[in-house]
Chains A and B, each alone.
Chain A
Amino acid sequence: MPTSSAAVFWTRPNPDSLTNRMPFPLTFATKYSAIGGILFSVIALLGTPTIAQQVKAGTSPEDSATKVLNRSRPGIAKVRVISVSSGSQIAIGTGFVVGDNSSMVTNYHVVSDTVLQPSQYRLEYQANDGTHGNLTIAALDIVNDLALLRLDRPLASASPIEISGAIATKGDTVFAIGFPLSKGLTIVSGTFNGKAEDYFQPLIHYSGALNSGMSGGPAVDGSGTLVGVNKAVTRNAQLVSLLVPSSKVSELLNRPISGAINSPNYWKSEAERQLHQHAEIVMSSLVNQKLPTRSFDTYIGVDLEPLGFKCEGVHQNETGKYQHTLDGRVCNTNSWVYVDSSIYMGAVSLYTGIRTNKGMNSLRFAEVRRTHFDFRKKVSDDPEKNKTGYECAQRMVNINNLQSITFTCMRRDHRFEDLYDTTFVMHSVASDKQSIQVRAEMIGMPFSASKAMIGRVMEGVTWKR
């Protein structure tokens, strides 16, 4: 018998590749790219001269990208994140002027460093006419990844991007504008494909080539009216990009702009408040009633699909010394919120699976189950040590006449109160022929809600014998 579960885990072939897809803040987005994960990129690069535009003879001026660009150009600027100590640019994005030429909209993730570490970073803009100046934060919508910035002085040459609130039609041409890889102002033509499915927050599915640096830039129709805000592109996919709907920009602009901000951490506190609000919305759809259940062979487990969340099936067949099959479902709310480059919050995932013994003796089957019980070995700690290590509790329980072992671990980002990453794992031990395994992960959720979710999961598991 191995001397440690760690040795067993790393030397045995992992019979459950699903566990590699279990979401944790850093891996959550990238692992789920196949079902709509998002890559956020804000890369600091040096700027390069804008490539000269030429209008083809005979092109209709009404719809040409040139016309759109020329109309929009004065109101679009680079948003630069500057290190206070070194004066160096550490990140870059795009912003566009709205309203009275004193305000600019961009993505929250472009300015997240300034929000969370205001003493270490500041914001600057650099307009196309060469004008530059400082920016301050005027409003935040962290859940929808938006930020409203205030310019130190109105941008005289700018023409604000029009926000009408009208929704484009599927198939319409939409032009995304920004500074990709800091190469200069660029316009990209793409197709509006309506609401992106399976996301908790409203997002637009845009078939256009967005690139790093274009985040926060406007996506406009042929008349230059805002359709959405460039947000992200899906990794390992072709032209699958996401925009924040213009309606969310309108909501942000209609929020009362804060007056005196006394504390340098005001916006961090505001972000935290919004995270709590978002968590409450997500969890209320889960814990306020019994979770739907579904049959898993001789067991019954919980399922989130009837609640409208995206689920997909899992099947694995292991041969050889550890011959067994794994059949299950993984569901998630897809409601995660970008907080900074290393963490996301506000999402729930649920895995329910049946592991069926296909010829192993009971001890070996027990060992296979045990190797997937303690997930902590697969999780890397927050590299900046903003998160605590995992604290855990293990209990052996009898739930609905099903003997099981449960393992609950929690950790927290010290910067945010009462927002925990909680992982609950439950393995039945009543039978050496088949075992049900449940794994619920609440990322960046309040303790009380996570606790309630765990309770809902346990009450939904039974053994049909």
Chain B
Amino acid sequence: MEAVAWVELLGHRGQVLHRHPAFAWPIRIGNTYDGDIVVDDPAFPETKIFLETSSGNEAEMFLELASTSTNGNGGDVPRLRINHKPVEAVAARSIRLFSDDVIECGAARMRVRLRGHVVSRHRLNGKERFVDSWAFAWLIAVTAAIWYGFFSSINSLNEDVSEQLKDPFSLVAALLIWWGGWSLITRLVTGYGHSREHLLITGILFVLYPNAGNVGSALAFATGATTFALGGQLVQLAGVFYAMFAHLRLVKRVGVTMSVLRAGLLPCITWLWLMNGINIVFPEDKKPMSYDASMWPASIVIKSNETAQDVLASLESVKERVDAAAKTIENRVNAGQSSNEPNK
């Protein structure tokens, strides 16, 4: 049976002293032995904390205080703090919580982590924020470097990159893969029970992304089966979509516009430029990644019953691209010649 949440009892420095799984809602926390979680702390007030999920939404908890006071005046209301902020603890009042919120009741401090959720940035501790900020700064720096390299007139391969960008499939795939990658980083920074699973899947994804096409192509050569070439691409796509939906869940939980922007779009663009930038910087024979937009459509739409006529028909589009490139060179040469006309 899997736990629906973990209740972590924290020490004064925030370290986890005990970690208890809870297998069903509501979770009752108290210093009596009829609760799900027993806080053996004499300073814990005689009250009970009920943690319940909102209907259909696993991401929230409601804290209900049940006072055991019998003196009729509201009882001895415990000192209650949520994320270090005092909260008026009124009996039977619902307080909305999120996963990883720190609950201080009396002298006890605890944290409840829901299975399958992560923490938004404003709930990170200092160290976690530092890592998150550093990663963000690195992304900004890489983006700036790639943009500079792209627009530099020194590198005549820029026109090749601009051609690659015109391939919408590759562009979208690159955006999605990085979005998923950032999801992994965020999860690793905050940490929660299933990070290993996501680490494995997204790690495989990052390794396979530049290589799945090559793997599929090699297998296609080996077996003659077109499905291998297609399969290589499907592995990439499957991983991309997994990462995308995983990150969508993260974004949904975070609910902060800036995080969506930071965690989504900017890294996607950075990844795209990083891939192309690497191919620009490295010499032709030492490029770490093989990236050929013209080969993607063929490997996606492979049909083993294509004939010689299909091959010949495909040459028309190749010719068009060559002619367009020749026109570009001609215009450039003519522009250069007009400015270099010798004095007569």
Contacts and interface: CB of A to CB of B under 8 A. Distances in A.
A362 interface: yes
A458 interface: yes
Interface in B308-341: 308, 310-312, 314-315, 317-319, 321-323, 325-327, 329-330, 333, 337, 341
B290 interface: yes
B295 A6 contact: no
Contacts of B120: none
Interface string A1-24: 111111101100000000000000
A10 to B, nearest CB: 5
A363 interface: yes
A138 to B, nearest CB: 23
A280 interface: no
A451 B315 contact: yes
B276 interface: no
A227 B314 CA distance: 49
Given A6-B285, A398-B304, A414-B327, A432 B222 contact: yes
A386 B211 CA distance: 34
A408 B326 CA distance: 18
A420 interface: yes
Contacts of A363: 218-219, 222
B214 A5 contact: yes
Contacts of B229: 396
B210 A3 contact: yes
Contacts of B12: none
B342 interface: yes
Nearest to A416: B326
Interface in A388-447: 388-389, 391-399, 403, 405-406, 408-415, 420, 427, 429-432, 447
Contacts of B215: 1
A420 B325 CA distance: 13
B284 A377 contact: yes
A455 B310 CA distance: 11
A272 interface: no
Nearest to B229: A396
B132 to A, nearest CB: 29
Chain A contact residues, majority secondary structure: mixed
A370 interface: yes
A85 B343 CA distance: 8
A460 B265 CA distance: 52
Nearest to A391: B321
Given A392-B318, A412-B323, A397 B310 contact: yes
Contacts of B295: 392, 394
Contacts of A295: none
Contact of B307 (A7, A9, A399): A399
A399 B308 contact: yes
A301 to B, nearest CB: 14
Contact of A408 (B222, B299, B314): B314
Contact of B311 (A4, A362, A397, A427): A397
A430 B287 contact: no
Given A3-B289, A455-B312, A391 B318 contact: yes
B221 interface: yes
B288 A3 contact: yes
A369 interface: yes
A167 interface: no
Interface string B13-25: 0000000000000
Interface residues of B, number: 55
Contacts of A465: none
A4 B288 CA distance: 6
A363 B218 CA distance: 7
A281 interface: no
A398 B330 CA distance: 39
A179 B151 CA distance: 50
B304 A388 contact: no
Given A6-B284, A414-B329, A432-B222, A393 B322 contact: no
A161 to B, nearest CB: 35
A391 B164 CA distance: 12
Contacts of B325: 388-389, 391, 412
A159 B111 CA distance: 109
A15 B214 CA distance: 20
B319 A410 contact: yes
Contacts of B290: 3-6
A45 interface: no
B34 interface: no
Given A396-B226, A396-B229, A420 B285 contact: no
A156 interface: no
A396 B314 contact: no
A365 interface: yes
Interface centre among B221, B229, B303, B323 (most CB of A within 10 A): B221
Nearest to B321: A391
Contacts of A10: 285-286
A398 B322 contact: no
B294 interface: yes
A3 B310 CA distance: 30
A405 B310 contact: no
Interface centre among B215, B314, B317, B337 (most CB of A within 10 A): B314
A454 interface: yes
Given A3-B210, A395-B314, 15 more contacts: A3-B211, A6-B284, A366-B221, A370-B217, A377-B284, A386-B329, A392-B292, A392-B294, A395-B306, A396-B229, A397-B310, A399-B307, A406-B311, A410-B322, A458-B308
30 contacts: A1-B214, A1-B218, A4-B287, A6-B285, A6-B287, A119-B341, A362-B222, A363-B219, A370-B218, A370-B221, A386-B329, A386-B333, A388-B326, A388-B329, A391-B294, A391-B321, A393-B314, A393-B317, A394-B298, A395-B310, A397-B311, A403-B304, A405-B220, A412-B325, A420-B319, A420-B322, A429-B221, A430-B224, A454-B311, A458-B308
Interface of A: 1-7, 9-10, 84-85, 119-120, 362-363, 365-367, 369-370, 377, 385-386, 388-389, 391-399, 403, 405-406, 408-415, 420, 427, 429-432, 447, 451, 454-455, 458-459
